[in-house]
Amino acid sequence: MTRLGALNRIDTLLSTITDPTFVSVMRGEPLAISGTPVLAFWVSGRSVTGQTFTRDGSITNFTIRGYFRMVASPNIRESIEKDVWDAIHSIHSVLSSDAELDGNCTTSNIGDAQAGFTEIGGNAYRTISVPFDVEILDDITVTP
């Protein structure tokens, strides 16, 4: 089990999504977006769990966010809503398919998706945010 292995596996799983087809999958919250739709994911928190005398476990919280560029055309805006729903479904599907992230965590859990809007660089984006928790039971060795 490695943290880098878990990150790589999340990236790989998200990159397999084809409905909708994302232009890219980025690690870290984007400061600028050149094309859409795009997916990004980043660490948003961590808590210690399962403490023993020799080991501590952890749950690391990730935010997975999809960005869809809003435009004036009503037809495109309507199609974005289908893409938003499809993206939420696809993210859940691919992450559920490998709960142990190829052996790099004990388990993982997908939270409730939220949809919204944001502005980046003067452009409006329809967004989806999906919380994703990665648990590693023996994350840290405690030396007495």
The whole-angstrom separation of Cα 42 and Cα 144 is 33
pLDDT at 137: 81
Q: Which residue has the tokens 């501590």?
A: 56
Task: Please count the residues of the chain.
Answer: 144
Considering the chain, what is the average pLDDT of its residues?
A: 90
Q: Is the pLDDT of residue 63 over 70?
A: yes
Residues 20-49, mean pLDDT to the nearest whole number? 93
How many domains does the chain contain in total? 1
Full-model pTM: 0.88
8 A C-beta contact, residue 53 and residue 144: yes
Respond yes or no on whether the N-terminal peptide bond of residue 131 is cis (omega within 30° of 0).
no
Q: Is the pLDDT of residue 66 over 90?
A: yes
Query: How confident is residue 9, by pLDDT bands cut at 50, 70 and 90?
Result: very high
Q: How, if at all, do strands 38-49 and 107-110 pair?
A: unpaired
Residues 4-32, mean pLDDT to the nearest whole number? 94
Please write the tens of the pLDDT for every residue from 69-123.
Answer: 987 676 666 789 999 999 999 999 999 999 999 999 999 999 999 999 999 989 9
The whole-angstrom separation of Cα 115 and Cα 130 is 9
**Domain hosting residue 106, numbered range:** 3-141
Which one is predicted more confidently, 21 or 144? 21
pLDDT at 139: 67
Q: Which residue has the tokens 């990150």?
A: 7
Which CATH number is 53's domain given? 3.30.70.1700
8 A C-beta contact, residue 6 and residue 14: no
Respond yes or no on whether the N-terminal peptide bond of residue 20 is cis (omega within 30° of 0).
yes
pLDDT at 107: 92
